[in-house]
Structure 1
Amino acid sequence: MNDITKAQYEYVAQPCRNFNILGHTSIIDPWDGREKYVLSNFALGATGTIVFIDVLTGDGESFVLPEGNGAWGIVNWHDEKLVIGTCVDQAYLHVFDLKTRHWAEPLPSVGESYFWQLTIGSDDKVYGGTYPGCSLMQYDPAAHTLVNLGRVSDNAKNLYTRPVYGQAPGYIIVNFGFDTNGLKAYHIDSGTFLPFSTPGAAVREINEKFICTEDNGVLAFYDPKSLLPIEDNGYTEQLKPKAVTLPNGQKIPFIPLNNNRLAGFRGQDYFIIDAPPSKSDYEKPLDIKLKPIPVKAPETEVFALAPDNGGHIWGASGFGQTIFRFNPTTGEYWNSSSVCNHGGEVYGMVFVGERLFMTSYVGGDHIVYDPNQPWDQLNNVNPKSLQSVGPDLIRPHGRSVRGPDGGIWTGWWAKYGIYGGGLSRIDPETMEVDSWYDPIPGQAISGLAADGNYIYFTTNGHANGLEARRDICCHLAIWKPGSGLIHIEKLSQGDEPNSGLCAINGRVAASIGGQIRIYDTDLRKFVLDIPVSEECEWIIKLDDRKVGAFCGTTLYEIDLLSGKTSVLSELPGKIRAATITDAGDIYFSVQTTLYVLKHSI
């Protein structure tokens, strides 16, 4: 291998800016005595923030967390402290003193990556669920201590505890999942976990009269003090609305404010409205005016990249369901509002002519956007959501490619708690969507590629909400549009494909473990195995016989015919996304930063 560096990357910009609000609450701010709507903002690749919005004036303030990206958990502890949980790599608990505007020393939850929702128990302590330990955590605001109370579920395959509820006196009610789903009740005085409700049930509402659970549409009621079943007694009619309805029919959760008002958020916007006069009015479209969050959006991780035919670079945010456009000539950039009604992020980005076709998690969404037309996502005009493959398929981990038939093809993972995957195809002329569930039964699509003849995909044992299976044989598959699977190459057990996959003229470069393996589609076998320094998560086509393989902090150039390999460039870090323009310029991202490698091909 030739280790002579041929080119040097250049810093371009940090063009991806968005909010990703995951939690909200309200306070009477001791700083000025005014009511504030508080948003917990997650910034993947950067540091999370909390945003205060004055409910009368609309003025905003932003405070940066001491550490971590941010997360779902936020509670107001007596208008004295805000308690906030974070993720992704390490779960932290942060406490913000509202009087002093100072952060307490961060408290890590050892061994946990995520904090989910938080709640205040009847003992005035704060409780929260975690991933991957399926634990219940307890925070003591008086002592500023964090304690792990243990696993909630006896099933070792369950990794999640979310959400949690503290309204039942003496108990914390906890959901767990996703191999099996259910509820446990943590008895605060005895420190024990008790079975509660039916397997698969989730909490609908808890108040001083009842606990209501729902299981497959069936409601059940329990006494909040004893946890024993009770009769309905008209409680169904007393259930509070959980959401308001936007003019487009979308349901948006809310929290109550003082003076009979409600607050909620949607993507990059928020609203404050008077509460509807009756329960039935919550089901009707309301005259809700969305307002931009009134502070500057932070830079966030660049998760996907694609060039258009006008010299712009487009990308997607790592979380928050937005996209951006960057002009390399002027340095100007634009960031969108939400591209669809679901949360998550865009994985696949493919231009066909002037239109951008996208696929996104978590709703299994297919989306088309015309940059030359006015933005009107709220009415599903532009961008327009097409037929979804959810709920069976939800994460387009294989990303999207233009197939030899002109369609946009995407590789998917199955829904939470299920091993499996699938393919989908958008017809860019008719906007029709076709899909194929589980072409390799029980395996997710890890990578996707296409050449002039076929679609290629690799599979592995990963899944949403479950530990990856390592006891299976993964595959490289060849799919012919209009016909389906025409060949399956079974890999040896332990040979697990990564995301990197690229096809050029009958040869396929596949990232499998610590190698780039070259497959000949005519011979139907692997013909070259090329060791690389680190696992490869991204491979791009450089020309009609060469690929660029991003392996850790090294970009390799690999000739698929000869196997000749050289170092094209060292990299500033592990990349998240990469693309190449018609001129041969390679754009790639490391967390929030966009770089370019000027490389004439």
Structure 2
Amino acid sequence: MSAQALGEPLDGLAIWASAFDVEEGEPRIYAVSTGNPCMLHVIDPIRCEALHALPLEGSDHSWGVVSAPSGVYIGGSGVLYRYTPERGVEHLGEMIAGEYYTWRLAVDEAGRIYGGCYPGGKVFGYDPATGRFRDYGVVAAGEQYARCMQARGGKLYVGAGTIAPHLVVLDIESGAKTELPLPPECAEEQLVYDLDIALDRLFVRITPSSVCYVYDLETREWTDRFEGAAGLSVSSPDARGAVYFVKDDALHRYEVRTRRLSRTSLPMAEPAGDYGWLSGHPLQPEGPCLLGVGRDGSYWVYAPERDVYRLYDPQLPGLPVRLQALAPDGRGTLYGGGYFAGGLAVCDTRSGALTGYRGLGQAEGMLCHDGLLYIGVYPKALIHVFDPARPFVRGDNPRLLFTLQGAEQDRPFAFASCGEEVAIGTVPAYGRHGGALALYAPGEERLRVHRHVLPGQSVVALAVREGLIYAGGSIWGGLGAAPVAAEAELLIWDPTGARALWRGVPIPGAAAVAALAFDASGALWGLTPERLFCFDPATRRVTQSLPLPETNQPQPAHFWRAGSELVWQGGVLYATARGLLLRYDPREARLEVLEEDARLLAADGAGALFYARGATLMRYAPSHLFTSGDPAAPGSSCRQPE
């Protein structure tokens, strides 16, 4: 057998943070797209021209960009960057040791930079005058997320949480922290997700309810609340004292002094990452226009005085998207989903030809069932359905069937066919424990959701045999919540009676049962982070347990599935675990490593295996399956942007 790189089926942009300033007398947009590495895009918004695309080496995400007198600062994977026209991109170093995820940034009146981190929930400061970082420590005890912040008058207002929302006032000089009480109705919420200051008002958006609260910093009173608000920012005020934010899928104007809220003409189906003000634009030459950047790198310009807008696309280059899910249809087609920037990949398993579509979110899991593709998208556990017999049309095919957000679920990782129903296993929302097992009957459009079937655990693996569902758990729940269960369990569930038949720990001390598959004899095989095991459903005992090969790949801080998969094909068990493609022949009782740098796994039924190597789709198959004259030669891809 031999491995072949088929190519990178997905490319795209995911821009969550931008800043706006003037460079050499001309306005500029500084937008950062997530990727490996991230890219800083410098855009001329008057000419709609992309001027530079600069790599941020060492970072694969960015949620914070701010403009300061000393340059444009970008938060990356635990490191801080600075851009200036003279020096380009500078790597300023690690903010705080052990903090590898950076959230929103802020700048104070003195030009100092601040940011929040994960997983320690700490806040850092950076002084451009000295080049030194300061560790302000954990902002809210027990919380892993310091999510957003703004500076004003020597204070840093910080939003934190996931277990419970916190609004903390940090004294910049002394480091002292004081909690500012939120409205009582926020007690059951999770996180202060967004925070802005304008005209002595503090705008605080709480999730998961997405209610924006307004706090008067002078009178120290909560004055307004707006439901249906979307992040990530509230604009700075215009000349008449109005700010702008997204609510109910449209840009809204809020007059701070009169507290009057009105809807503008600009529809906004997605959140607005950041806002800027632009002078000299032909849409409103006599006054400044509001400006914002979309997730796909396009931007909009809105003229408040005329209540009109225009959309622009500077055609920013996309980046390869890491594959996050695979699903074969058993008839010669393989589907794939992308991480963060999302997208839907389609592969002809015989020829290796690839097609990629933009316009679908981050797919955690997929399943081909009764001629349709079911796709689980993060966040809010959105379940979409795609009809392969119809063209891909963004927003229509795939279409949204339902969400499991009401059951506090966020990540639909596990899928399996259970008779006429689709079984779905999920990870709960941030700061929550208790995944769910959902059963959807397409013919009746009936949904049954069973939460806490594995108490305190997520449901991350599913397999079905003789009408029973076998579910593997992970002790890790939503991010920001430490495990409450000690070891992962295996569940046997009767979907007809909606009851558990058996629940137990297959491998003592294991953090997850990350993958499950039946062999031809009816034995159930499973993967934990350290072991491959075989479970006898009749006796409900583990009959074999083998250690996985050692690898230099670091274990993730939280372990749901980590790209682990199991496939039984041709009398042999194949697995991806610890970044390895493995083969186990029960007749030889030998576990061997076939390939390194491998995640996810799917079989086409004809002897070929497919796995992911970052953004590249790989095929591992007997050499006779490869045909000369394949439409997609190794390393190539065919992409469709829409």
Q: Does the TM-score normalized on the shorter chain lie above 0.5? A: yes
Shift of residue 303 of structure 1?
1.2
The amino acid of 1:524's aligned partner reads R
**Counterpart Cα distance in 1 of 2:89 and 2:23:** 14
Unaligned runs of 5+ in 1: 1-6
1:538-549 superposed matches below 5 A: 538-543=564-569, 545-549=571-575
Shift of residue 223 of structure 1?
2.3
Q: Could you say which residue in structure 2 is the equivalent of 1:577?
A: 600
* Counterpart among 256, 259, 274 of residue 302 in structure 2: 274
**Counterpart Cα distance in 2 of 1:526 and 1:129:** 45
Are the aligned partners of 2:487 and 2:510 in contact in 1 as well (CA < 8 Å)?
yes
Q: Could you say which residue in structure 2 is the equivalent of 1:263?
A: 291
Q: Please give the root-mean-square deviation of Cα atoms over the aligned residues, in Å.
A: 3.3
Q: Could you say which residue in structure 2 is the equivalent of 1:22?
A: 16
Q: Could you say which residue in structure 1 is the equivalent of 2:147?
A: 162
Q: 1:456 to 1:243 in 2, by over 3 A?
A: same
Tell me whether 228-237 or 543-552 shows the greater mean CA deviation.
228-237
Does residue 44 of structure 2 align to residue 54 of structure 1? yes
SS at match of 1:67: coil
Tell me whether 481-490 or 184-193 shows the greater mean CA deviation.
481-490
Q: Could you say which residue in structure 1 is the equivalent of 2:611?
A: 588
Are the aligned partners of 1:96 and 1:104 in contact in 2 as well (CA < 8 Å)?
no
The number of equivalent residue pairs is: 564
**Counterpart Cα distance in 2 of 1:143 and 1:529:** 56
* Counterpart among 37, 59, 65 of residue 74 in structure 1: 65
Q: Could you say which residue in structure 1 is the equivalent of 2:269?
A: 250
SS at match of 1:519: strand
Does residue 542 of structure 2 align to residue 552 of structure 1? no
The amino acid of 2:290's aligned partner reads L
Q: 1:193 to 1:248 in 2, by over 3 A?
A: closer
Q: Could you say which residue in structure 2 is the equivalent of 1:145?
A: 132
Q: Could you say which residue in structure 2 is the equivalent of 1:566?
A: 590
Tell me whether 509-518 or 541-550 shows the greater mean CA deviation.
541-550
Shift of residue 550 of structure 1?
2.1
Could you report, residue by residue, the CA deviation over 1:125-183 in whole angstroms, capped at 9, with x for unpaired residues?
01000011111111112333222122212x2x3111011112x2211100121223211
Could you report, residue by residue, the CA deviation over 1:491-525 in whole angstroms, capped at 9, with x for unpaired residues?
17523324122124532111135221211112222
Q: Could you say which residue in structure 2 is the equivalent of 1:598?
A: 621
SS at match of 1:296: coil
**Counterpart Cα distance in 1 of 2:424 and 2:277:** 43
* Counterpart among 402, 413, 424 of residue 417 in structure 2: 402
Are the aligned partners of 2:457 and 2:485 in contact in 1 as well (CA < 8 Å)?
no
Q: 1:410 to 1:583 in 2, by over 3 A?
A: same
**Counterpart Cα distance in 2 of 1:352 and 1:426:** 11
Q: 1:308 to 1:235 in 2, by over 3 A?
A: closer
Does residue 162 of structure 2 align to residue 178 of structure 1? yes
**Counterpart Cα distance in 2 of 1:324 and 1:39:** 26
Q: 1:418 to 1:152 in 2, by over 3 A?
A: same
Are the aligned partners of 1:475 and 1:488 in contact in 2 as well (CA < 8 Å)?
no
The amino acid of 1:240's aligned partner reads V
TM-score (normalizing by structure 1): 0.84
Q: 1:429 to 1:275 in 2, by over 3 A?
A: farther
Q: 1:52 to 1:334 in 2, by over 3 A?
A: farther
Q: Could you say which residue in structure 2 is the equivalent of 1:530?
A: 546
* Counterpart among 235, 238, 241 of residue 244 in structure 2: 241
Structure in which a larger fraction of residues adopt strand: 2
Does residue 49 of structure 2 align to residue 42 of structure 1? no
The amino acid of 1:250's aligned partner reads A
Unaligned runs of 5+ in 2: 228-239, 251-265, 280-287, 556-561, 626-642
**Counterpart Cα distance in 2 of 1:220 and 1:55:** 31
Are the aligned partners of 1:539 and 1:547 in contact in 2 as well (CA < 8 Å)?
no
**Counterpart Cα distance in 1 of 2:43 and 2:22:** 11
Are the aligned partners of 2:157 and 2:167 in contact in 1 as well (CA < 8 Å)?
yes
Does residue 301 of structure 2 align to residue 316 of structure 1? no
Are the aligned partners of 2:166 and 2:182 in contact in 1 as well (CA < 8 Å)?
yes
Q: Could you say which residue in structure 1 is the equivalent of 2:256?
A: none
Tell me whether 480-489 or 67-76 shows the greater mean CA deviation.
480-489
Does residue 359 of structure 2 align to residue 359 of structure 1? no
Q: 1:277 to 1:352 in 2, by over 3 A?
A: farther
Are the aligned partners of 2:433 and 2:481 in contact in 1 as well (CA < 8 Å)?
no
The amino acid of 2:159's aligned partner reads N
Q: Could you say which residue in structure 2 is the equivalent of 1:209?
A: 200
**Counterpart Cα distance in 2 of 1:512 and 1:70:** 28
SS at match of 2:243: coil
Does residue 160 of structure 2 align to residue 187 of structure 1? no
Are the aligned partners of 2:10 and 2:357 in contact in 1 as well (CA < 8 Å)?
no
Are the aligned partners of 2:408 and 2:428 in contact in 1 as well (CA < 8 Å)?
yes
Does residue 533 of structure 2 align to residue 507 of structure 1? no
Q: Could you say which residue in structure 2 is the equivalent of 1:479?
A: 493
**Counterpart Cα distance in 2 of 1:59 and 1:8:** 45
Q: 1:471 to 1:424 in 2, by over 3 A?
A: closer
Tell me whether 244-253 or 546-555 shows the greater mean CA deviation.
244-253
Q: 1:469 to 1:325 in 2, by over 3 A?
A: same
Q: Could you say which residue in structure 2 is the equivalent of 1:4?
A: none
Are the aligned partners of 2:475 and 2:512 in contact in 1 as well (CA < 8 Å)?
no
Q: 1:50 to 1:327 in 2, by over 3 A?
A: farther
SS at match of 1:250: coil
The amino acid of 1:83's aligned partner reads Y
1:285-364 superposed matches below 5 A: 289=311, 294-308=315-329, 311-327=332-348, 333-339=354-360, 345-352=362-369, 354-364=371-381
Could you report, residue by residue, the CA deviation over 1:354-386 in whole angstroms, capped at 9, with x for unpaired residues?
532100111210001234434433xx4222011
Q: Could you say which residue in structure 1 is the equivalent of 2:535?
A: 519
Are the aligned partners of 2:145 and 2:480 in contact in 1 as well (CA < 8 Å)?
no
Q: Could you say which residue in structure 2 is the equivalent of 1:96?
A: 83
Are the aligned partners of 1:25 and 1:74 in contact in 2 as well (CA < 8 Å)?
yes
Identity %: 18
Are the aligned partners of 1:554 and 1:567 in contact in 2 as well (CA < 8 Å)?
no
The amino acid of 1:489's aligned partner reads R
Q: 1:209 to 1:473 in 2, by over 3 A?
A: closer
SS at match of 2:493: strand
Tell me whether 129-138 or 247-256 shows the greater mean CA deviation.
247-256
**Counterpart Cα distance in 2 of 1:565 and 1:583:** 24
Q: Could you say which residue in structure 2 is the equivalent of 1:65?
A: 56
* Counterpart among 381, 384, 409 of residue 399 in structure 2: 384
Q: Could you say which residue in structure 1 is the equivalent of 2:461?
A: 447
Q: 1:460 to 1:374 in 2, by over 3 A?
A: closer
**Counterpart Cα distance in 1 of 2:545 and 2:8:** 36
SS at match of 2:20: strand
Could you report, residue by residue, the CA deviation over 1:239-284 in whole angstroms, capped at 9, with x for unpaired residues?
7331274688735325133133333344425231323559xx7xxx
SS at match of 1:241: strand
